[in-house]
Structure 1
């Protein structure tokens, strides 16, 4: 019998549990350990932050779902990872031993790296359901006294799509409330150009997003480094190609949402051979740590180098499709190890994204996610908004029933089908 432990129960950890269960032998035991007993669908957080969704509508109680699949569950935070001893120290004083460990913790949000950033400072966040609910309350108060808005992603951020989503969702909601004319909006990003997304663009994301910004009267600042945030004021340095400071601006705001940089969680940081200096887990092409051969990792906590140098540091996003491919490869590789074989499976690391703009949106497919690519496609339109709603409903249903079916791959194929139909219809 082998003890398999999954650390974390976000997107990567939950689907990892479902797929790992399918690959195990009858005698093996699977345990998920996490700090939060409830899963929340993070892509819906921008909607929560403008009161288009409630916490209850996007959550899944994990304990009964895991129980139905025969998966043990411990809702206790991990305080220390001890890979030399094959065990985890938990915050309640207990330990959890493993034969195979899959790290799927997601990131720690590095708000503290910029003075005044984050929910405990002067900007909002949509990275966590608690943050999104607080942002919703702050937004309601803002609407009673409209002022300028600043939205974006700071230096070192690696998740840019939600910043664009939230910008246009705010624009839509302000128009619905008939106060958009009283709210100047500025998009501030570390990206070298609008639509870079940490991926050097996908298809024509630069052209599409710049056009949307102009059409919606949203100013933008790229190659920007947030120096500090004060109450109602953000100090921003614009960085030249050679890394020098080209200029410094003080942008006033009455409401702001800035995505932070990520880092590995505290129990992982500083473990030689397991993580990089930022605390992200080092893996080979089989999602396996090179030093600790019984440790695998999937999701946002995996170390991936940037696509290339940029004047302001930009990380690489780990999208749902990419994470799903990591999960499938990891489950099959551990299944091989359980049967005395060496791992052979590799994640495809493709990307599929539906970015909702409130009443329209942009979609893209990148295969592989890191260029050069075999498929490099993007499109926009009202159909994306409808597709994102369908995506949310379908995925939450999948999570609640404990299904291991590959949803992101299906979504990617569907969007590529739309692309082919468009090509045919336009000749």
Structure 2
């Protein structure tokens, strides 16, 4: 009997535990290590920040779900991984041994890399539900005393979709409060152009997002390096192609939400052979670490090199579809190892995303996520907002019920009815793609 441990219980870690339990059956033990027992649906955080959702509506207590599925929960959290000993040191001083480990910790938020950045300093955040709850108070203060707003993503960020979402959701919430006319808004991003998204764009995301910003009277600055943030102004430098400062600006603000750069969490950071210098987990095409072959990784914690040189550092996002494909491949590969076989499954690394704008939105499909692509599609409309609500309800139901169903492919092929994806699926089934 093998002991399989999942480190982390976010989007990737939770469905990883579910899929392992389903794949391995009762012949092997599955355990989850995380801080606390609450799962939070991160894509809903922008709605929480403007009062469209309450915290309780987007959280799930995992303890009864995992117990029902026969998955052990260790809510103490991990203090340090000791891979040479196949052991996780927990925060309460105890240890948990493993035969196979899946690291699904998500990232640590690197707010400290910029002076004055982050909750507790001069900006708000929607990266965690605690941050989003606190942001609601800041939003209420903004409505009561309108002033300049900045939204965007700093240098090194890799997750740009939520920044665009929050800008448009905030615009809608301020219009609903009838104070939008008193709130100048600027979108500040490290991307080389609007709609780059860390992916060199998908379909016409550049044109669609630029148009959406213009229609909502939101100005933008690209190739932006945030130097420091004060209580009433943000210091930003626009970087030229040669790396020089093309222009330095001081932007006034009373309300700022910018997404940070990510790094690996402290429990796994700086372990030779396991992580890159940024603390992300090194993995081969089977999600397996080369130095410690009993360790796999899925989700945002996985090391993926940037697509290419840009004037300001820009990372590559790990989208839900990509993470789900990593999870399915990893469950399959660990199952093969328990049967004395070698891993042979690879994640598809495709992207299907819904960017909600509060009363509309943009959807895009990238197959594969990194160009060149077989499918490079984007579209917009009010249907995206409706689809995002349906996605939220479905996924939370999935977490509450302990189901390991691959949602994103179903979304792409059935719910959204994207013809191009259907064509690709037919071609895949026929063996021509």
TM-score by length of 2: 0.96
After TM superposition, the structure 1 = structure 2 runs for residues 32-181 of structure 1, keeping only pairs within 5 Å, are: 32-181=32-181
Structure 1 counterpart of 2:201: 201
Give runs of ≥4 in structure 1 deviating > 2 Å.
Answer: 414-421
After TM superposition, the structure 1 = structure 2 runs for residues 164-243 of structure 1, keeping only pairs within 5 Å, are: 164-243=164-243
Structure 2 counterpart of 1:254: 254
Describe the superposition over 1:304-337 as per-residue Cα deviations: whole angstroms up to 9, x where unpaired.
0011111000000000000000000000000000
- Structure 2: which 5+ residue stretches go unaligned? 424-433
Whole-angstrom distance in 2 between the partners of 1:416 and 1:210: 24
Alpha-carbon shift at residue 268 of structure 1 (Å):
1.0
User: 2:229 aligns to what SS in structure 1?
Assistant: strand
Count of residues paired in the alignment: 422
Structure 1 counterpart of 2:22: 22
Structure 1 counterpart of 2:399: 399
Whole-angstrom distance in 2 between the partners of 1:329 and 1:40: 24
Whole-angstrom distance in 1 between the partners of 2:7 and 2:148: 41
* Contact 2:412–2:418, Cα closer than 8 Å, also in 1: no
* Contact 2:155–2:224, Cα closer than 8 Å, also in 1: yes
Describe the superposition over 1:277-305 as per-residue Cα deviations: whole angstroms up to 9, x where unpaired.
00000000000000100000000000000
Structure 1 position 350 matched with structure 2 position 321:
no
Structure 1 counterpart of 2:325: 325
User: 1:112 aligns to what SS in structure 2?
Assistant: helix
TM-score by length of 1: 0.97
* Contact 2:359–2:385, Cα closer than 8 Å, also in 1: yes
Q: For the aligned residues, what is the CA RMSD?
A: 1.2
Structure 2 counterpart of 1:291: 291
* Contact 1:228–1:234, Cα closer than 8 Å, also in 2: yes
Whole-angstrom distance in 1 between the partners of 2:286 and 2:193: 33
User: 1:172 aligns to what SS in structure 2?
Assistant: helix
User: 1:121 aligns to what SS in structure 2?
Assistant: coil
Whole-angstrom distance in 2 between the partners of 1:124 and 1:366: 30
Alpha-carbon shift at residue 25 of structure 1 (Å):
4.6
Whole-angstrom distance in 2 between the partners of 1:419 and 1:128: 35
* Contact 2:81–2:89, Cα closer than 8 Å, also in 1: yes
User: 2:73 aligns to what SS in structure 1?
Assistant: strand
Whole-angstrom distance in 1 between the partners of 2:261 and 2:420: 36
Whole-angstrom distance in 2 between the partners of 1:118 and 1:357: 23
Alpha-carbon shift at residue 47 of structure 1 (Å):
0.1
Alpha-carbon shift at residue 24 of structure 1 (Å):
1.0
Whole-angstrom distance in 2 between the partners of 1:398 and 1:358: 24
Alpha-carbon shift at residue 23 of structure 1 (Å):
1.4
After TM superposition, the structure 1 = structure 2 runs for residues 307-386 of structure 1, keeping only pairs within 5 Å, are: 307-386=307-386
Alpha-carbon shift at residue 414 of structure 1 (Å):
3.4
- Structure 1: which 5+ residue stretches go unaligned? none
